[in-house]
Amino acid sequence: MGDAMQTGEQQPGYQRLALLHSDTEKSAKAAQELAERADFVSLDDADAVVALGGDGFMLDTLHDMLDSHRSLPVFGLNLGTVGFLMNRYYGYGDITSRIARAKPLIVSPLRMEAITQSGESVSSCAINEVSLLRETRQTAKIEISVNGRVRIPQLAGDGVLLATPVGSTAYNLSANGPILPLDSQMLALTPISPFRPRRWPGAILPESSRVTFRVHEPAKRPVAVVADQKEVRDVAEVHVEIARDKKMTLLFDPGHALDERIVAEQFIT
């Protein structure tokens, strides 16, 4: 099993639960309903988290824990739109029992290091993808290297992204990138509206890969990099690889695990 994704049996001990919810009225109402049926503790005292909201709120919750260096297992309940990273919210039942039966998915994010045109270095993690995007009407021109070897001397287009299996059904899929099974130990390198080379479909890379993007003519053709929701503008060079020192645990109801959703997504027409 690779570093970026692991699955296994639920470990006991998820008894003290913290409750977090997005700022929507729907999520706040659901949080009140849950609080009437279960006892919740503060985040500092918890050994697992119940998160109410959509995929965006789940990403925010995971990033907050990455930033705080205290990563707790998270059981998401969907009160958003897609809810790909979430479980269904039924509005009834014992949440403690659901979490006791849940299956864990352990993932590692991407680590992005961006160097701006002014020489500033900015690091951030991405659970879904790291994407480079043109900032103006000018086409972006980007060199792509994998493990120190130049693979695409110049990609001309709107940009390019590198996605994890967890993120392969998000922006990557919208850009016609491949869906990656969670146990594939692969990353998806996908062009965004490529002009040249026009027929390059992208690549599937081993998760051990270190990918470097260098922006050509950065002053004339400025490019921004986005690691999930973290944006850095006017970049000159970007390095991306798996952050092997960081682990996050997502909890899913049996039969509704993310790997099954990824398989199912490939048959939606």
Binding residues, by number, are 55-56, 128-129, 158, 166, 169-174
Q: Which residues are annotated as a binding site for NAD(+)?
A: 55-56, 128-129, 158, 166, 169-174
CA–CA distances in Å: residue 159 to residues 31, 118, 184, 190, 261 = 39, 21, 25, 9, 27
55 is catalytic: yes
37-72 CB burial, b ≥16 within 10 A, e <16: eeebeebeebebbbbbbbbebbbbbbbebbeeeeeb
Bridge partner list, 107: 5, 248
- Of 182, 186, 170, 150, give the one whose Cα is nearest residue 226: 170
Active-site pick, 3, 39, 44, 55: 55
CA–CA distances in Å: residue 268 to residues 10, 107, 135, 184, 264 = 30, 25, 33, 21, 7
CA–CA distances in Å: residue 131 to residues 28, 102, 169 = 32, 32, 14
Q: How far is C-alpha 10 from the geometric centre of its chain's CA atoms?
A: 22
Catalytic residues: 55
